[in-house]
Amino acid sequence: MLSKIHNLEDYAVAYRKSVNEPEKFWATVADSFVWRKKWDQVLDHDFEDYKVEWFKGGKLNITENCLDRHLLSRADKTAIHWVPNNPKEADRVLTYRQLHEEVCKTANMLKAQGVKKGDRVCLYMPMVPELAISVLACARIGAIHSVIFAGFSASALASRIEDAEAKVLLTANAAPRGAKIVPLKEIVNDALSQVSCIEKCIVLKRTDDPVEMKANRDVWWHDAMLTVSNECEAETMDSEDPLFILYTSGSTGKPKGVVHTTGGYMVYTAYTFQNVFQYEENDVYWCTADIGWITGHSYIVYGPLLAGATSVMFEGVPTYPDAGRFWRIVDRLKVNIFYTAPTAIRALMAQGLEYVELYKLDSLKVLGTVGEPINREAWEWYHQHIGKGHCPIVDTWWQTETGGIMISPIAGVLPTKPTYATLPLPGIQPVLLDADGNELEGKGVEGNLCVKYPWPSMLRTTWGDHERCKSTYFSTYKGYYFTGDGCRRDEDGYYRILGRVDDVMNVSGHRLGTAEIENAINMHDAVVESAVVGYPHPIKGQGIYSYVICDPEKLEVTTMEEIKQEISEMVIDKIGKIAKPEWIQIVRGLPKTRSGKIMRRILRKIAAGEFDNFGDTSTLLDPSIVESIKEGARREK
Ligand code: WTA
C-alpha cells in the first residue's frame, strides 16, 4: 500500500522529502505498484528544451494495477456502482472481477476490429460503464484513448478525431441527459462525413432510438462482443508510452491534445487520490464529473481503481428529476467521499434548501470541489448544509495538463480556509512570478502561478506538435511550467487561485478559449469581426459575452435579433452548447489600439457592468467606440 499522510507532521515530512530528494520520494511511492520491469532512472528532465521522463525504462500495464492485482483480495468488491440518468432504470454494479472480465472482453473486441498498440481510439459516449470499460480496454492493449465529451458538436468531434488520426470511434446510439436524449449517433454520422481516418465505428445501444448505420463501417457493440474471449493478456508498456490524449482549450482557436503517459500518471493519480481524499478501504467514493474531462480520467477511472476503491458513476445531471438527485444518491449508496464542481453547488444552492433537508447525508466524511474558483457563499453552503459543518472540504486546484491534483488541502489534515486551495501536495513546487519573471518571495504576494520542478503526471507533449507544448507552457517564463492562472499566497502561505490570466474562460467548470468561440462566430457570413470575453456569472462562474461587428448591408435585410440567434446557433454547431454566448452585442467597432490590438480589458469591464475606471486608454485609436459600446451594453448586474 501507499504510505499515507495522517497528520500535519506527516505532511511536513513528506513535503520536505519530496523537495530535497524527489527521486527517492517518488521511487518509494512507485514501489507499491506492479511493474513488469523496474525503471532504470526515476527522472530525466529539461524545462528549457522541454522534455520529461519518469520511471525511465520501467515496463508495466496500468490496467494490471487497476484490476488484476485486486483480484486476490478484492475480487468481489464493487469497483463501479453505476447510477443511470432515469431513476426508474436499474443501477448496474460491477465488482473488480466483473470489471476485469469486461475490460478483457472489450480489449479483445477492439483487437478484432483492427486496433493495435499505439493506435488512437476515440470515445464519444454517454456516462455508462462501457465508457470506463473501454478506456481501460484501450490501456490494456496499448491503444491511446482520446475521450471527447459527448456535449461537443459534430465539427468539434471531427476536428479532434482528425488531429489524433483515430482509427476507431466508440459511441452510442443516444445519450440520455436529464429530460433530454442527445442523438449521439446522428452527431457522429455528421462528424464522420467530415473525416477519413475512421475505419470502424462501434455503437452501443443505450436506448431504443433507431439510428442510421453505415455498412462496413458501423458495427453494433453487442454484435462485436458476441464471440470475444474473456481473457486478454495485458500489453507490456513502457513507462513513457502514451496512455491517452485529452483535448483542451487554449489561447489559440485550435484545441490541443494534451498527452499523458503511463508510469508517472499512474503513480501520481493513485498517490493524490488516496491522500487528498484520505480514502480508506471500504469508503464509497463519488466524483460527479464526466469522463470526458480530466477529472473523470484521473478521479473516476484511474485514481480510484488503482486504490481498489468503490466508485459511483452517474449518468445524469444534478437537477433531474429534481434538485435533490445528488443527495438522494448519497443517502441511498451511503457515499463517504463526494467530489463535485462549484457550478453544481451554486446551481443546487439556488434551488433552495428544501431539496437538501429531505436527506440525512450522514454518511459523508469528505467533500471536494474542482474546476474553477469556489466563491465564499458556495463554500459555506457546501460546508454547512451538505457537510453539516464537520466534513472537510478539499478545494483541489489542478489542470488537464497537470494530470492530477496539485494544490489542495489533505482532508482533515490541513486546516481549510474558504476559497483557498491551501498548500501544494508533496512533490509540487509552486512559485508566483511577476510580469518580469521574478519569483515573488514571502507571504501576502500575488503573481502568475508556475511550477518549477517536474511531477510525475505532468503533460509530456501536445499531440503532433511538441513546439506548441514548449511555447504554451515553457516559454513565458524560462525554466518554469506556466499554468495560465493568477494566484495569491496569503499571510499563512496558503494559495488562492484567482482565475486565468490568459484568454481562457471557465464556464460552468468547462474550459473554453475565447479564440475558438470567435472563430466560430466569424464563420457567420454577416460577421466582420468579433471579440469574446468572460464576465462574472452567478451560477456558471463565468458567462460568455461577445461583441460582434456586422456587415451593415446584411443588417439591412436581417434584424439584429435574427443575426444574434444565428450567431448563437453557429457557435453551438461549431463547438457545442457549452460554448453558447450568454450575451451578444452588435457593435460598430472594437476598442483597438493604434497598433490594431483589441483592448480586451475594456471589453471585460463593460461585460461585467463596470462603465468607468478603464485605466490608461491613451493608446486607443477611436475613444468614441468605447462610448458607443457602453451605450448598447448589458445593463443588469
Ligand atoms: C481552473 C480541471 C480555482 C484553473 C481539473 C485551471 C481552478 C483550470 C480549480 C483547469 C480550483 C481548476 N480553484 N480554479 N480548485 N481547479 N481551476 O484543464 O483556472 O479543465 O487552470 O482542469 O481550471 O481546467 P481543466
Query: pLDDT, tens digit, for every residue of 425-440?
Result: 999 999 999 999 999 9
Cβ(512) to ligand 1 under 6 A?
no
Dihedral, CA of residue 360, residue 365, residue 371 and residue 376, to nearest 10: 70
Q: How far is the CA of 33 from the centre of ligand 1 (A)?
A: 28
Residue 122 carries which side chain, given as an amino acid letter? Answer: C
Q: For residue 201, which of 296, 271, 121 has the smallest C-alpha distance? A: 121
Query: pLDDT, tens digit, for every residue of 59-76?
Result: 999 999 999 999 999 999
pLDDT band at 3 (very low <50, low <70, confident <90, very high): confident
Cβ(397) to ligand 1 under 6 A?
yes
Mutation to probe ligand 1, out of 506, 512, 542, 578 (largest number of atoms < 8 A from CB)? 506
Domain identity same for 153 and 285:
yes
Could you say which of 458, 487, 516 is where a domain stops? 487
Residue in this structure with the C-alpha cell 499563512, named with its chain if needed: 492
Say whether pLDDT at 1 is over 70. Answer: no
Cβ(169) to ligand 1 under 6 A?
no
The residue whose C-alpha atom lies closest to atom 25 belonging to ligand 1 is 399
Domain-located, residue 495: no
Query: pLDDT, tens digit, for every residue of 308-358?
Result: 999 999 999 999 999 999 999 999 999 999 999 999 999 999 999 999 999
Domain-located, residue 102: yes
Cα–Cα dist 324/56, whole Å: 48
Strand-pairing partners, residue 446, are 488
Q: How far is the CA of 78 from the centre of ligand 1 (A)?
A: 30
| Res 354: pLDDT | 97
Cβ(255) to ligand 1 under 6 A?
no
The residue whose C-alpha atom lies closest to atom 11 belonging to ligand 1 is 397
Q: How far is the CA of 380 from the centre of ligand 1 (A)?
A: 20
Long-range contacts of 553-560 (CB under 8 A, 24+ apart): 554/525, 554/526, 555/526, 555/586, 558/526, 560/586
Rg (CA), the chain: 24
Domain identity same for 184 and 301:
yes
The residue whose C-alpha atom lies closest to atom 24 belonging to ligand 1 is 399
pLDDT band at 234 (very low <50, low <70, confident <90, very high): very high
Cβ(487) to ligand 1 under 6 A?
no
pLDDT band at 617 (very low <50, low <70, confident <90, very high): confident
Q: For residue 172, which of 202, 138, 213, 129 has the smallest C-alpha distance? A: 202
Mutation to probe ligand 1, out of 374, 497, 578 (largest number of atoms < 8 A from CB)? 497
CB 61 within 8 A of CB 48: no
Cα–Cα dist 610/594, whole Å: 24
Q: 3-state class of 554 per DSSP?
A: helix
Domain identity same for 233 and 289:
yes
Domain identity same for 619 and 482:
no
Domain-located, residue 3: no
Read off the pLDDT of each residue in 180-206 and give the average, rounded to a whole number: 98
Q: Against a cut of 0.95, is the pTM above it?
A: yes
Say whether pLDDT at 127 is over 50. Answer: yes
Residue in this structure with the C-alpha cell 507490456, named with its chain if needed: 236
Terminal C-alpha separation, the chain = 52
Q: Please state, in angstroms and as integers, the Cα–Cα distance from residue 445 to each residue in 354, 398, 488, 491, 503, following that order.
A: 41, 20, 6, 9, 23
Query: pLDDT, tens digit, for every residue of 354-402?
Result: 999 999 999 999 999 999 999 999 999 999 999 999 999 999 999 999 9
Query: pLDDT, tens digit, for every residue of 81-108?
Result: 999 999 999 999 999 999 999 999 999 9
Domain-located, residue 623: yes
Domain identity same for 66 and 134:
yes
| Res 33: pLDDT | 98
| Res 2: pLDDT | 72
Q: For position 153, which CATH number holds? A: 3.40.50.12780
Cβ(448) to ligand 1 under 6 A?
no
Say whether pLDDT at 480 is over 70. Answer: yes
pLDDT averaged over every residue in the chain: 96
| Res 636: pLDDT | 63
Cα–Cα dist 409/575, whole Å: 35
CA 188 centroid distance within chain: 22
Share of the chain above pLDDT 70, in %: 100
The residue whose C-alpha atom lies closest to atom 7 belonging to ligand 1 is 372
**Least confident range of 261-275, 350-364, 396-410, 606-620:** 606-620
Cβ(481) to ligand 1 under 6 A?
no
Domain identity same for 572 and 518:
yes
Strand-pairing partners, residue 63, are none
Number of domains observed in the structure of the chain: 2
Cα–Cα dist 136/302, whole Å: 9
- Cell numbers found for residue 558: 436581417
Q: How far is the CA of 370 from the centre of ligand 1 (A)?
A: 7
Could you say which of 434, 453, 487 is where a domain stops? 487
Domain identity same for 273 and 188:
yes
Domain identity same for 471 and 542:
no
Domain identity same for 183 and 148:
yes
| Alpha helices, DSSP H, located in 215-281 | 221-224, 263-276
Q: What is the 3-state secondary structure (H, E, C) of 560-604?
A: HHHHHHHHHHHHHHHCEHHHCCCEEEEECCCCEECCCCECHHHHH
Q: For residue 8, which of 164, 16, 136 has the smallest C-alpha distance? A: 16
Range of the structural domain that residue 574 is part of: 508-632
Q: 3-state class of 243 per DSSP?
A: strand
Q: For residue 347, which of 371, 372, 378, 369 has the smallest C-alpha distance? A: 378
| Res 637: pLDDT | 47
CB 532 within 8 A of CB 253: no
Domain identity same for 447 and 550:
no
Query: pLDDT, tens digit, for every residue of 523-570?
Result: 999 999 999 999 999 999 999 999 999 999 988 888 999 999 999 999
Collect all residues with Cβ–Cβ distance below 8 Å to 545 and sequence separation of at least 6: 532, 533, 534, 535, 581, 582, 583, 585, 603, 607, 634
Read off the pLDDT of each residue in 179-208 and give the average, rounded to a whole number: 98
Q: How far is the CA of 228 from the centre of ligand 1 (A)?
A: 40
The residue whose C-alpha atom lies closest to atom 22 belonging to ligand 1 is 399
| Res 616: pLDDT | 87
Domain identity same for 157 and 279:
yes
Say whether pLDDT at 581 is over 80. Answer: yes
CB 289 within 8 A of CB 300: yes
Domain-located, residue 479: yes
| Res 84: pLDDT | 98
Domain identity same for 545 and 580:
yes
Domain-located, residue 413: yes
Domain-located, residue 252: yes
Cβ(373) to ligand 1 under 6 A?
yes
Strand-pairing partners, residue 511, are 506
Residue in this structure with the C-alpha cell 472563430, named with its chain if needed: 519
The residue whose C-alpha atom lies closest to atom 1 belonging to ligand 1 is 372
| Res 405: pLDDT | 98
Say whether pLDDT at 15 is over 60. Answer: yes
Collect all residues with Cβ–Cβ distance below 8 Å to 627 and sequence separation of at least 6: none
Domain-located, residue 500: no
Q: How many residues does the chain have?
A: 637
Cα angle, residue 498 at apex, residues 381 and 405 outer, rounded to 5°: 75
Q: For position 611, which CATH number holds? A: 3.30.300.30
